[in-house]
Amino acid sequence: MGTETVHADLLVIGFGKGGKSVAARMGRLGRRVVLVERSDQMYGGTCPNVGCVPTKALVHHAEMRRPDDPAREWYAHAVEEVQALTAKFRAGNYESFNDLDTVTLITGRAEFAGPHTVTVETDGDRITVTADTILINTGAEPIVPDIPGLRASPRTLTSADLIRTTALPDRLAILGAGYLGIEFASIYRRFGSEVTVFETSERILGREDGEAVEAVERILAEDGVEILTGARVTEVRDAASGATVVYEKDGRPQTIEADAILAAAGRAPATRGLGLEAAGVRTTERGAIEVDEHLRTSRPHIYALGDVHGGPQHTYLSLDDSRIVMDQLTGEGRRSTDDRVAIPRTLFTTPPLAAVGLTEEAARRAGRRVRIACERVADITAMPRAYIVEDTRGLMKFVVDAGTDEILGATLLSVDAQEMINTVALAMRHGVTASELRDAVYTHPTSTEAFNEVLATVVRVDEPGTAGA
């Protein structure tokens, strides 16, 4: 094995959104940068390779499928198209550093040997990298629950595995009804799979608005998705023709047969094998890297960006992490995670569910006196867009402070919700009141103009402790 030693001003471990953004900007400033990525299939990070881009592309292909289109052929073609798209993104990420002589990309496994030293195992070589500043941007990895037979079963897949499988499973069992599980349930049902979702708690999407969740459940049920809440999977048994999923519901053991089992129990920070102890970098009980509001770890010259430090796992937050770190490295050092207000989120079901701020339940628990504006999309006359695209399912709901008219939160389950929620979030960040958002002028025919009508319809005023009564 050959050995080599390299010194850099900045070492970035992981080719994700936050890390690559800092690497590129520092490289353009003339700093010597080394960027290490474990796999050449992950240039660009989770989002363009196994996350946002391929899954949302599958949403698109699933929505385009007509009832008479052959399911298996349509799905196989969709996967091929999506993989070609991700390969294009991956190549683009790699090529984006081609013109930066100051940035060196190394493909290999990185492990700390000391606070300023990392060894990288590549094909046949060991490279020692020393750096003044180090960024850890290794992301997160799927969690496969410790259920007897689950991890050993060849039928068990992570989301990354499933989206690369060209054979459409006739029967798909999904373990977990969070964002990942529900999104995949919607996608694969539309492709033609029989889908069963298992959730140990009594409701899906536990942190989202109750009314919206009920609407999501109705939509999924109408599409043919079976959701089993209060169901605990206890075992997976393999057979030649598939797998048997054993579960308990209402105190009774039951079984279903599946061709594929998606482990959708979430993702954990990818810190295994990094040798963080050698660097003196502390982690939480859940394995996330501890950081302060400026994303510094227990070692001031080492930062952690993106999913690896815990918290909401969104690419756009990883991008914002890069802004915070750049401000520390080249700016005034004032920017921090405390600056984040009204961060939106979207679940790409069909139609998508998007939310920002407080739900009605959360506002009530906080003791806020609120006005609730809520309307079904099918009843919103000022939203012809929904009729144009032939999807009037869902609802729009706003939670407004009864005294100040401040928008406390919104949940949108509708066509174009993933875009509209950004308008609401921007309004919340800049103190735009519910009345101002209601009376704004929007183009026509669009989905956003529904705000004119929905925010004029106050369905109830809730005193603290009585919301939803």
DSSP string, 59-103: HHHHHH--TTS-HHHHHHHHHHHHHHHHHHHHHHHHHTTTT-TTE
Residues 374-392: tens digit of each pLDDT: 999 999 999 999 999 999 9
Residue 390 dihedral angles phi and psi, to the nearest 5°: 60, 45
pLDDT tens figures, 67-82: 999 999 999 999 999 9
Contacts of 317-324 with C-beta under 8 Å, sequence gap 24+, read 317/343, 318/16, 318/17, 318/18, 318/45, 318/137, 319/17, 319/18, 319/21, 321/18, 321/295, 322/17, 322/18, 322/19, 322/21, 322/22, 322/25, 324/294, 324/295
- CA–CA distance from 81 to each of 67, 89, 98 (Å)? 20, 13, 26
Distances from the Cα of 98 to the Cα of 27, 33, 295, 439, angstroms: 11, 13, 28, 49
Q: Which residues of 266-288 are buried (b: 16+ CB within 10 A; e: fewer)?
A: ebbbbbeebbbeebebebeeeeb
Residue 467 has pLDDT above 60, yes or no: no
User: Percentage helix, strand, coil, to 5, in the chain?
Assistant: 30, 30, 40
Q: Please state, rounded to an integer, the average pLDDT across all residues of the chain.
A: 95
User: What is the rounded CA–CA span in Å between residue 1 and residue 310?
Assistant: 36
Task: Pick the catalytic residue from 7, 61, 294, 444.
Answer: 444
Q: What is the pLDDT of residues 286-321, one digit of tens each?
A: 899 999 999 999 999 999 999 999 988 999 999 999
**pLDDT 10s digits, 43-99:** 999 999 999 999 999 999 999 999 999 999 999 999 999 999 999 999 999 999 988
In percent, how much of the chain has pLDDT > 70? 98
User: What pLDDT is stored for residue 189 in this prediction?
Assistant: 97
pLDDT tens digits, one per residue of 335-387 = 999 999 999 999 999 999 999 999 999 999 999 999 999 999 999 999 999 99
Where do we find the tokens 């609401």?
Answer: 424
Helix axes 210-223, 179-191, angle to 10 degrees: 20
pLDDT band, very low/low/confident/very high, at 1 (cuts 50, 70, 90): low
Respond yes or no: is residue 444 known to be catalytic. yes
pLDDT, position 216: 98
Complete domains list, the chain, with CATH = 2-140+268-339 (3.50.50.60), 156-265 (3.50.50.60), 345-462 (3.30.390.30)
The pLDDT of residue 463: 54
**Per-residue confidence at 458, pLDDT binned at 50, 70, 90?**
confident
Residue 2 has a CB neighbour count (10 Å cut-off) of 8
pLDDT-derived band at 137 (thresholds 50, 70, 90) equals very high
pLDDT in tens, 196-210: 999 999 999 999 999
Q: Which residues pair with 112 in a beta bridge?
A: 118
**Confidence band (pLDDT; 50, 70, 90) for 469?**
very low
Token pair for residue 121? Answer: 């195992």
Q: Is the dihedral of CA 272, 274, 275, 277 positive or negative?
A: negative
Higher-confidence residue of 115 and 123: namely: 115
Name the helix (H) or strand (E) containing 419.
helix 417-429
Contact 287, 311 (CB under 8 A): no
